[in-house]
Chain A
């Protein structure tokens, strides 16, 4: 049994309130029907009904963890999430499978690259984007028992870093580089691309660049203090995400900086449109999201910034 399913089963067994629903997406809970009994319901390929049923269960005191592909749960059932979960703030967890680049060769219909923007845009709905299976395991119980609605960008990727076991919504973790003092670059990221950020950081460090990598963990609530600290102490802030630049981390960082009257150099790395479908390594390469590409893009940006600064000095 995979760790995710083990945690779900433990939650179901230790708390009578917990129920698991799926819209015929069982790959990550193969033993659920046998082991969870009537606490597991497969509603069929019916995402709207799943969310409505979850809201009905939750309004009577249940905690409901729902599952479907990320693009289907956030888009097909969007209004049900907004109306039936968001308005009453019911403890329903929406788990989106194969989000972002993890949909690899499926094509644009399956590409959830707008999910973070959609979900965080609904009042009361929170967003957890674990970097890998280990990160998911660390946060999952807290999220399920938070008493709040959450969207989770699911991943079972192997861990690329040793994560902090201390988890709190709205608290990011520094996974590479110094936590205080001057940095040349800070990469803010979440989900699948943390691994690429770490690879990029090792390339940049080898070139003598002081790099920090931060795993945001939850995008709503967001670690605003950490982002502001970064804006003061890093020469370049990079937002790296497998999401449209509209609505995701770049938007969040921009909102925070403007609200706090901060103007800093930001390099947004994300999507402007749907990505080329292929197996994941090729997607990362083609879309210039691999560690190598990210390192190169950052070096180019640092050079552009240096050139601009010298121009500014010459004008003075």
Chain B
């Protein structure tokens, strides 16, 4: 397993963001949401999780479940950089002969469970965490949730059950980018005070800057807390992070850019001239 120094992660994340932008054409993908959880996934896979290209089937591996499955470009971008899949394979995005469709599936090495419909994988992760505990293993189960996904009742149902079962190898990570689809969370179904909500459900609660690798490391290196309670990490993030033209834009959730726009956005990602976007945007309510 390759060891990554925290100082290497910004460059790693930049490469993942390039993959995301390259997948945002020829049919497109959920660009804005993928960019918000890029740094989270980069940190978790390179530094926190005990998993590598050589240990994808190891019985004692850690597990990450992407419950907000539409962030697939960020996940597969990380997989490509870690060698779980060849970088070349990302070019098959949305092609019928491969399995790189808009939501994760187990035909892709590294995907532990498929997702798509929101509100499912916290309970699946709880089942895995229970089995890991019964097997006497030390593996951790990390479930990445969207903040909009917290509208789903099944999430809160599982929060109750998880604390009742005293499962402390389960960590929920919330990509708190303040958007759901094309609406701001607080303008639709306000979630705040979110910390208090999870505390009231008996969970350990941590907050972190989801784009600061140092901050992420200082929080995650203490996890999981082995106190008989599951843990939630609320990661403050920014939708469209790293690409000023689409950052925090409600209409840039799902993007299908022209090839020229992708080139310009990659320039922008690297700190050069801001791109001019003319492609169609989502209709915002």
Contacts and interface: CB of A to CB of B under 8 A. Distances in A.
B41 interface: no
Nearest to B164: A44
A49 B117 contact: no
Contacts, number: 88
B131 A52 contact: no
A55 interface: yes
A48 B127 contact: no
B123 interface: yes
A59 B161 contact: no
A60 B139 CA distance: 13
B124 A44 contact: no
A84 B113 CA distance: 9
Contact of A53 (B112, B119, B130): B130
A314 B129 CA distance: 74
Contact of B120 (A41, A62, A83): A83
B131 A48 contact: no
A56 B128 contact: yes
Contact of B114 (A56, A57, A88): A88
A43 interface: yes
Contacts of A49: 123, 126, 154, 157-158, 161
B161 A46 contact: yes
Given A52-B158, A53-B124, A88-B114, A62 B131 contact: yes
Interface in B235-252: none
B157 A46 contact: yes
B116 A83 contact: yes
Nearest to A80: B120
Given A83-B117, A83-B120, A88-B106, A56 B126 contact: yes
Contacts of B121: 52
Nearest to B134: A38
Given A49-B154, A52-B154, A59 B124 contact: yes
A48 B117 contact: no
Nearest to A53: B127
Contacts of A56: 113, 123-131
Contact of B123 (A58, A62, A80, A87): A80
B108 interface: no
A15 interface: no
Nearest to A43: B161
Interface in B108-162: 112-114, 116-117, 119-132, 134, 153-154, 157-158, 160-161
A44 B112 CA distance: 26
Contacts of A50: 123
A86 to B, nearest CB: 11
A57 B120 contact: no
A48 B124 contact: no
Nearest to B127: A56
Contacts of B119: 48
A57 B117 contact: no
B24 to A, nearest CB: 26
Contacts of B194: none
A52 B126 contact: yes
B128 A59 contact: yes
Given A53-B130, A59-B124, A48 B114 contact: no
Output the residue of A44, A51, A61, A84 with the most chain B CB within 10 A: A84
B165 interface: yes
A53 B123 contact: yes
B110 to A, nearest CB: 15
Contacts of A52: 120-124, 126-127, 154, 158
Output the residue of A49, A54, A83, A84 with the most chain B CB within 10 A: A49
27 contacts: A41-B165, A43-B161, A46-B161, A48-B153, A48-B154, A51-B123, A52-B121, A52-B122, A53-B123, A53-B127, A55-B113, A56-B123, A56-B129, A57-B128, A58-B127, A59-B112, A59-B124, A59-B127, A59-B128, A60-B127, A62-B131, A79-B120, A80-B123, A80-B154, A84-B120, A87-B114, A88-B114
Interface of A: 38, 41, 43-44, 46, 48-62, 79-80, 83-84, 87-88
Interface of B: 106, 112-114, 116-117, 119-132, 134, 153-154, 157-158, 160-161, 164-165
A-B interface, 10 closest residue pairs, ranked by CB to CB distance from nearest: A56-B127, A52-B123, A53-B127, A56-B124, A56-B128, A57-B127, A60-B131, A46-B157, A49-B123, A48-B154
Given A46-B160, A56-B125, 9 more contacts: A46-B161, A48-B154, A49-B123, A49-B161, A53-B130, A55-B113, A57-B127, A59-B113, A83-B116
